């Protein structure tokens, strides 16, 4: 079934908005603004958050802490029901979960903008689903878009859990995983509906193996990088300086760094082969994005760079993951044709 160019372009808009959510979420993480809004979906009980402390009641910290405690209790009860008793117990007994931050207008509005980005992406996906329902009604596409819309809702709900548990590290990792699944499903949908030729997709066996390997390593690297970042946050709280980070981080950091070089070597080989034989544009694009990601990674590890580099590093990694995934979708379709 053919779709209009307008509908196809709108799907790229939806994907861009999802990436905007990743960017905004990473910026929130980098700036320490995750607790800028103590409640969800509203922010300090308002759809448009306050800009001055005087707009809040004197006991706002105690009031929102009580609400958060109730949400944590419900979440822990849910964890117990699915068999994660020890995890629930750790969360309930972790004193850092119940630390309520003082109002900070900059952090509040940073988190609020992040939520607006999520609101835009969610509603764009809802519009996409309605568009499909009205004009195309292909069951597979409706199921795919409906599933992604549901995952957007789960992601928003889980975002509230991340806030309620005061940014417990593993919840942030799950939050990232859900975002990658949403990106993957949106890319698959775009792949299904776009008008394209697969003639330029390499049919070489080395491309098939290496593209899979690079994708899997990149996927693993993103979660390993999240764990490294969580370890750095813990070191900062303990008073360790940047010069001491690498020594303290241990094996996860060295694995993360070594795998980065492995991806560079493998993708450089594909890039070289592509210049000679294949002329597949996505390989070139992946190579350039990887270069930017590695530069930002080196800046993070060895230079006292601004915090925005942290956001750039994650965004480049996410874009690389998306390109590699689209390459695999192309390769799978080309092998069937």
Predicted TM-score (pTM) of the model is 0.86
Q: Two tokens at 294?
A: 């590695």
Question: If you ran DSSP here, which 8-state letter would residue 40 be given?
Answer: S
For 4, phi and psi rounded to 5 degrees? -70, 155
Express the helix, strand and coil content of the chain in percent, nearest 5 each: 80, 0, 20
Segment 199-206 mean pLDDT: 78
227 confidence band (pLDDT: 50, 70, 90) = confident
Segment 204-217 mean pLDDT: 90
pLDDT confidence of residue 26:
82
Query: Helix (H, G, I), strand (E, B), or coil: what is residue 46?
Result: strand
List, for residues 153-174, the tens digit of each pLDDT value.
Answer: 998 888 777 777 766 667 778 8
What is the rounded distance in angstroms from the CA atom of residue 57 to the CA atom of residue 123?
A: 33
Domain ranges of the chain: 1-195, 199-337
* pLDDT exceeds 70 at position 24: yes
pLDDT confidence of residue 60:
84
Q: Name the architecture of domain 199-337.
A: Up-down Bundle (1.20)
206 confidence band (pLDDT: 50, 70, 90) = confident
41 confidence band (pLDDT: 50, 70, 90) = confident
What is the rounded distance in angstroms from the CA atom of residue 53 to the CA atom of residue 211?
A: 52
- What are the strands, taking DSSP E only, across the chain? none
What is the rounded distance in angstroms from the CA atom of residue 212 to the CA atom of residue 332?
A: 11
Contacts with 128 (C-beta within 8 Å, 6 or more apart), sequence order? 10, 11, 14, 145
* 58 CB burial (10 A radius; 0-12, 13-18, 19+): exposed
Segment 240-264 mean pLDDT: 78
pLDDT confidence of residue 190:
93
Segment 89-116 mean pLDDT: 84
**pLDDT > 70: what percent of the chain?**
91
What is the rounded distance in angstroms from the CA atom of residue 154 to the CA atom of residue 270?
A: 37
Q: DSSP secondary structure string, 105-157?
A: HHHHHHHHHHHHHHHHHHHHHHHHHHHHHHHT--HHHHHHHHHHHHHHHHHHH
* Cβ proximity of 282 and 326 under 8 Å: yes
Q: Is 86 or 227 the better-scoring residue by pLDDT?
A: 86
List, for residues 267-314, the tens digit of each pLDDT value.
Answer: 999 999 999 888 888 999 999 999 998 888 777 766 655 567 778 888
């Amino acid at each position: 079934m053919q779709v209009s160019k307008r509908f196809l372009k709108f799907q790229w808009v939806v994907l861009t908005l999802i990436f905007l959510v990743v960017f905004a979420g990473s910026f929130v993480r980098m700036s320490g603004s995750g607790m800028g809004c103590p409640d969800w979906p509203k922010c300090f009980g308002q759809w448009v958050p306050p800009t001055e402390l005087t707009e809040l009641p004197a006991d706002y910290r105690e009031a929102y802490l009580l609400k958060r405690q109730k949400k944590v209790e419900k979440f822990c009860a849910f964890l117990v029901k699915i068999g994660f008793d020890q995890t629930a117990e750790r969360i309930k007994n972790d004193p850092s979960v119940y630390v309520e931050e003082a109002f900070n207008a900059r952090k509040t509005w940073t988190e609020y903008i992040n939520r607006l980005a999520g609101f835009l992406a969610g509603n764009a996906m809802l519009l996409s689903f309605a568009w499909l329902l009205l004009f195309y009604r292909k069951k597979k596409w409706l199921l795919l878009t409906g599933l992604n819309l549901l995952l957007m809702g789960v992601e928003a709900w889980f975002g509230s859990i991340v806030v309620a548990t005061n940014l417990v590290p593993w919840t942030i990792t799950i939050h990232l995983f859900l975002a990658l699944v949403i990106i993957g499903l949106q890319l698959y949908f775009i792949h299904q509906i776009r008008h394209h030729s697969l003639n330029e997709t390499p049919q070489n066996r080395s491309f098939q193996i290496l593209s899979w390997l690079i994708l899997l390593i990149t996927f693993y690297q993103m979660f390993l990088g999240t764990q490294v970042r969580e370890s750095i946050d813990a070191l900062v709280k303990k008073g360790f300086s940047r010069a001491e980070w690498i020594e303290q981080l241990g094996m996860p950091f060295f694995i993360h760094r070594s795998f980065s070089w492995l991806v560079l070597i493998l993708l450089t080989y594909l890039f070289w082969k592509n210049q000679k034989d294949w002329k597949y544009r996505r390989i070139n694009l992946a190579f350039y994005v990887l270069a930017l990601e590695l530069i930002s990674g080196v800046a993070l590890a060895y230079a006292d760079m601004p915090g925005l580099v942290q956001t750039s590093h994650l965004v480049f990694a996410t874009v690389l993951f998306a390109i590699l995934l689209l390459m695999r979708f192309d390769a799978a379709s080309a092998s069937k044709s």
